[in-house]
A and B are shown apart, each in its own frame.
Chain A
């Protein structure tokens, strides 16, 4: 996020007026780990740094390292929860938050961080994931069953149009639950979810997708045999890379492994770690799958009763 001059000034004033330099350094160390304010400002160790200069330097540093949103989240936490047993009143914090919201972010109270407002903007990293950092994520894989046979039978052109519709159905459902498309290759793709309740949101999206495809096959799919997909959800750590190389991390590899070995058409397959996070009314609709490795996997499907 590019931090405009007015927002920097507001944040500098807020910091100046809310705490002394020593506390500011503690706060800065929460962001950076090690932080030497004297070195950053160029003041000799023996010379005290004025409040305003210290605040200005810290704000400049968090803005330049793209940590401004995290820093404002931390200030909010200092006001609500406090630090070392003391709560801090941060003047102008409401104005700062309002300005951030106006630039297309919303505050996610569950994760305690700002994320982009998808009504205004939708980017691959929610506007906040940082290059090279590890996040716990849930991934939803979408794979068309029997793609090669479908293309052979109906032609590339026809199938491309149908896959476009599939992509639209899936993306709408995923984005409604703040998931992101991380990769789409012709007949399927990978969608990512993070922040709070990522497993639940991924599963809810997948269930809705299966329901929508059930209706699509019933009323408007031009293929006589219908369009059938396999959906898979697996979660785990993922190091974010803006160039897309994170699609090769172990968590994603494992997802496609589950899909190829145990995925069934018109079904959602989830790994064991996902099931306990679901509401009982939904988890009770999943059935266990026998696996050769003894790993616990569960499947949900839509069928005519």
Chain B
């Protein structure tokens, strides 16, 4: 974590030596007068220490107010001469740490700082390790398609997409209209997943699988898939020029498959590909987006 120390006395820095040397943290020193302008431009993921040594209680309170009003960074107070009488007031005003002269001389440890961050409730949103049901053997395809080679096996994000109510649609609609609906849906999918490098890969008559590269950690296809569900009514009005509402179901899965270019996939043997088609055709309900349980937790990514 990036630690910003606002002090007019460089000797204060010695207490932060351990944190400075830690590969997980960095410490930047700024004069106290720069607190306000820096705070205004600060994004998330920082921790601020303000040295209040020598300041009057009124000055301390005005700075606490400034720090408390900033949603972007939690903060702690350094009080080298231990002059503050009501330390609890600091915490009541939003501080997450108090460092007095003795503690500063001993030096702040990374373990202690870890607890401070946890207390400030900003450590928690640090990305958790991905808890995604992944195949036994993971062969990440990378964050894009550059390193994906034909004939090689990779782990991809596989999104099954199937048009609903097709039996009824086939009875009521011309083959031309059905072709248009299938083509329109494929176009919608291509545009919706373009931002995460998604490709409509295998397409049978009324359903298919879209592949997105998998870097071993992030399930990037989830948000565009949720967006497709949220905007289903709008998509029907604006993009399908038919009076019957068009519905589609989706299932997201992480699976292994040998990669072949789209259109050359007939000889592929992949258990995961079979599984996702099986799930899509048999288990998904109309209009549903299904994801394996741990994957369905939308994690805050700030």
Contact = CB atoms under 8 A, between A and B. Distances in A.
Contacts, number: 70
Given A211-B231, A219-B223, A157 B236 contact: no
Given A155-B70, A157-B42, A214 B301 contact: no
Nearest to A282: B233
Nearest to B67: A155
A80 to B, nearest CB: 23
Nearest to A161: B43
A275 to B, nearest CB: 15
B301 A155 contact: no
A285 B230 CA distance: 13
Contacts of A273: none
A220 B40 contact: no
Nearest to A212: B227
Interface in A255-285: 279, 281-282, 285
- Range class of the A interface residue count: 20 to 34
B300 A157 contact: no
A155 B226 CA distance: 32
- Range class of the B interface residue count: 20 to 34
Interface string B34-59: 00000111111000000000000000
A223 B302 CA distance: 10
B234 interface: yes
Nearest to A156: B40
A215 B223 contact: yes
Interface string A182-212: 0000000000000000001000100110011
A204 to B, nearest CB: 6
B208 to A, nearest CB: 25
Interface string A270-305: 000000000101100100000000000000001000
Nearest to A207: B234
B230 A222 contact: no
Contacts of A161: 43
A207 B231 CA distance: 8
Nearest to B298: A218
Interface of A: 152-158, 161, 200, 204, 207-208, 211-212, 214-215, 218-224, 279, 281-282, 285, 302
The 3 A-B residue pairs whose C-beta atoms are closest, nearest first, are A154-B71, A157-B40, A211-B230
Given A157-B41, A204-B238, A215-B230, 7 more contacts: A156-B40, A158-B72, A218-B300, A219-B223, A219-B299, A222-B72, A282-B233
